[in-house]
Chains A and B, each alone.
Chain A
Amino acid sequence: MREQGRFGWSNSLVRRSILWLLALTIVSIAVGFFLLPSVQADYRAQGIWASICRAAGVPSDWGGSREIRQGPLATNVVLERSMTDAVSKDAVGRGATLALNCTMCHGAQGLSSSEAPNLAGQYPEVVIKQLLDYRAGKRTSSVMEALARRLSDKDVSDLAAYFAYLPKARTSPTTYDEALPKLVRVGDPIRNIAPCVSCHGGIDQKIGAPWIEGMPKGYLVQQLQAFRSNDRHNDSEAQMRTIARAMTDAEIGEVAAFYARKASNGGDH
Chain B
Amino acid sequence: MFNARKLVLAHFWVAFVAFLGALALGAWQMYVRSPLSTWVKNPEHYYRSVTAHGTVMAYVLPTLVAMGFGYAITELALKRPLIGARWAWGGFWLVIAGTVMAAVTMALGKASVLYTFYPPMLASPFYYFGVVLVVLGSWIWVALMHVNMRRWKKDNPGASVPLAMYGNVAGAYLWAWTSVGAAVEIIVLILPASLGLTDTINAGLARVFFSWTLHAIVYFWLMPAYIVFYTIMPRAIGGRLYSDTMGRVAFALFLVFSMPIGIHHLFADPQVGAGFKFVHAAMTAMVSIPTFLTVFTIVASAEIAARLRGGRGAFGWVKALPWGNAWMQALLFSFVMLGFGGAGGLINMSYQMNETIHNTQWVTGHFHLIFAGAIVSMYFMAAYELWPQLTGCAPISRALIKTQIWLWFIGMMVLTMPWHLVGLLGMPRRMAYYDYSNPEIASQAWTVVASAIGGFILLASGIVLIYTLATATRRRASAVAPFTFSRSAHPHATTPVALNGLGLWAGMMIALTVVNYGYPIAQLALVKEASVPVIPIGSR
**8 Å CB contact of A3 from B199, B274, B494:** B494
**What is the bound-complex CA distance between A36 and B273, given in angstroms?**
12
Minimum CB–CB distance from A92 to chain B (whole Å) comes to: 18
Q: Is the CB of B538 within 8 A of A185?
A: no
**What is the bound-complex CA distance between A82 and B198, given in angstroms?**
10
**8 Å CB contact of A21 from B41, B256, B539, B540:** B256
Report which B residues bind A (CB closer than 8 A). Answer: 39-44, 158-160, 199-200, 244, 256, 271-279, 282-283, 286, 431, 433-435, 438, 488, 491-501, 504, 508, 512, 515, 519-520, 523-524, 527, 529, 533-535, 537-540
Q: Is the CB of B273 within 8 A of A202?
A: no
**8 Å CB contact of B520 from A29, A57, A188:** A57
**What is the bound-complex CA distance between A188 and B537, given in angstroms?**
22
User: Which positions 1-50 of chain A face chain B at CB distance < 8 Å?
Assistant: 1-7, 11, 13-14, 17-18, 21, 24-25, 28-29, 31-33, 36-37
Per CB-CB distance, the 7 closest pairs between chain A and chain B, nearest first, are: A55-B275, A57-B273, A32-B278, A4-B494, A176-B42, A1-B160, A28-B282
**8 Å CB contact of B277 from A32, A80, A82, A201:** A32
User: Which positions 30-83 of chain A face chain B at CB distance < 8 Å?
Assistant: 31-33, 36-37, 52, 54-59, 80-82
**What is the bound-complex CA distance between A180 and B277, given in angstroms?**
47
- Chain A contact residue count (CB 8 A cutoff): 53
Q: Which residues of A contact B199 (CB under 8 A)?
A: 80-82
- A203 contacts the other chain (CB 8 A): yes
Q: Is the CB of A13 within 8 A of B159?
A: no
Q: Is the CB of A36 within 8 A of B274?
A: yes
Q: Is the CB of A32 within 8 A of B274?
A: yes
A1-B492, A189-B434 given as contacts; is B274 within 8 A of A37 (CB)? yes
Q: Which residues of A contact B274 (CB under 8 A)?
A: 32, 36-37, 54-55
- A163 contacts the other chain (CB 8 A): no
Q: Is the CB of A59 within 8 A of B498?
A: no
**What is the bound-complex CA distance between A204 and B499, given in angstroms?**
54
Q: Is the CB of A1 within 8 A of B159?
A: yes
Q: Which residues of B contact A17 (CB under 8 A)?
A: 498, 504, 508
Centre residue among B275, B496, B519, B529 by max chain A CB count within 10 A: B275
Minimum CB–CB distance from A27 to chain B (whole Å) comes to: 8
**8 Å CB contact of A198 from B43, B159, B438:** B43
Q: Is the CB of B273 within 8 A of A2?
A: no
Q: Which residues of A contact B286 (CB under 8 A)?
A: 24
A31-B278, A33-B275 given as contacts; is B43 within 8 A of A189 (CB)? no
- A242 contacts the other chain (CB 8 A): no
**8 Å CB contact of B498 from A7, A201, A203:** A7
Centre residue among A29, A177, A206 by max chain B CB count within 10 A: A29
**8 Å CB contact of A36 from B278, B283, B501, B534:** B278
User: Which positions 116-146 of chain A face chain B at CB distance < 8 Å?
Assistant: 123
Minimum CB–CB distance from A30 to chain B (whole Å) comes to: 10
Centre residue among A176, A190, A204 by max chain B CB count within 10 A: A204
**What is the bound-complex CA distance between A11 and B498, given in angstroms?**
8
- A266 contacts the other chain (CB 8 A): no
Centre residue among B286, B527, B540 by max chain A CB count within 10 A: B540
Instruction: Offer 24 A-B interface pairs, CB within 8 angstroms, sorted by A.
Output: A1-B159, A2-B160, A2-B495, A3-B500, A4-B494, A4-B495, A5-B496, A7-B497, A13-B499, A25-B515, A29-B275, A32-B274, A32-B278, A32-B279, A36-B278, A57-B273, A57-B519, A57-B520, A123-B540, A186-B40, A188-B435, A190-B438, A203-B43, A207-B535
- A205 contacts the other chain (CB 8 A): yes
Q: Is the CB of A189 within 8 A of B435?
A: yes
- A223 contacts the other chain (CB 8 A): no
**8 Å CB contact of B160 from A3, A32, A188:** A3
Residue in chain A with minimal CB distance to B540: A205
**What is the bound-complex CA distance between A56 and B279, given in angstroms?**
11
Q: Which residues of B contact A29 (CB under 8 A)?
A: 275, 279, 515
Centre residue among B278, B500, B529, B534 by max chain A CB count within 10 A: B278
Q: Which residues of A contact B40 (CB under 8 A)?
A: 186
Residue in chain A with minimal CB distance to B208: A57
Q: Is the CB of A37 within 8 A of B497?
A: no
Q: Is the CB of A189 within 8 A of B273?
A: no
- A178 contacts the other chain (CB 8 A): yes
Residue in chain A with minimal CB distance to B520: A57
**8 Å CB contact of A28 from B271, B279, B538:** B279
Q: Is the CB of B496 within 8 A of A4?
A: yes
Q: Is the CB of B283 within 8 A of A28?
A: yes
**What is the bound-complex CA distance between A172 and B328, given in angstroms?**
57
Centre residue among B158, B504, B524, B539 by max chain A CB count within 10 A: B539
Q: Which residues of A contact B277 (CB under 8 A)?
A: 32
Residue in chain A with minimal CB distance to B200: A81
Q: Is the CB of A203 within 8 A of B44?
A: yes
**What is the bound-complex CA distance between A236 and B289, given in angstroms?**
51
Minimum CB–CB distance from A1 to chain B (whole Å) comes to: 4
Q: Which residues of A contact B491 (CB under 8 A)?
A: 1
Q: Is the CB of B497 within 8 A of A6?
A: yes
**What is the bound-complex CA distance between A195 and B515, given in angstroms?**
45
Minimum CB–CB distance from B535 to chain A (whole Å) comes to: 8
Minimum CB–CB distance from A234 to chain B (whole Å) comes to: 20
Q: Is the CB of B523 within 8 A of A5?
A: no
Question: Other CB < 8 Å A-B pairs besides A59-B527, A80-B533, 5 of them?
Answer: A11-B498, A32-B275, A33-B275, A36-B274, A203-B538
A32-B277, A56-B519 given as contacts; is B497 within 8 A of A5 (CB)? yes
Q: Is the CB of B43 within 8 A of A186?
A: yes
Q: Which residues of A contact B256 (CB under 8 A)?
A: 21
**What is the bound-complex CA distance between A190 and B199, given in angstroms?**
34
**8 Å CB contact of B271 from A21, A57, A189:** A57
Q: Which residues of A contact B41 (CB under 8 A)?
A: 176-178, 185-186
Residue in chain B with minimal CB distance to A25: B515
Residue in chain B with minimal CB distance to A5: B497
Q: Is the CB of A3 within 8 A of B497?
A: yes
**What is the bound-complex CA distance between A186 and B39, given in angstroms?**
8
A2-B160, A25-B515, A54-B273 given as contacts; is B279 within 8 A of A14 (CB)? no
Q: Which residues of A contact B519 (CB under 8 A)?
A: 56-57
A56-B519, A57-B523 given as contacts; is B539 within 8 A of A2 (CB)? no
Q: Which residues of B contact A5 (CB under 8 A)?
A: 496-498
Q: Which residues of B contact A32 (CB under 8 A)?
A: 274-279, 282
Minimum CB–CB distance from B82 to chain A (whole Å) comes to: 23
Minimum CB–CB distance from B242 to chain A (whole Å) comes to: 15
Q: Which residues of A contact B244 (CB under 8 A)?
A: 1
**What is the bound-complex CA distance between A185 and B538, given in angstroms?**
15
Residue in chain A with minimal CB distance to B44: A203
Minimum CB–CB distance from A51 to chain B (whole Å) comes to: 9
Q: Which residues of A contact B278 (CB under 8 A)?
A: 28, 31-32, 36
Minimum CB–CB distance from A177 to chain B (whole Å) comes to: 6
User: Which positions 166-212 of chain A face chain B at CB distance < 8 Å?
Assistant: 172, 176-178, 185-186, 188-190, 195, 197-198, 201-207
Q: Is the CB of B272 within 8 A of A11?
A: no
Minimum CB–CB distance from A197 to chain B (whole Å) comes to: 8
**What is the bound-complex CA distance between A177 and B244, given in angstroms?**
61
**What is the bound-complex CA distance between A106 and B42, given in angstroms?**
33
**What is the bound-complex CA distance between A37 and B278, given in angstroms?**
11
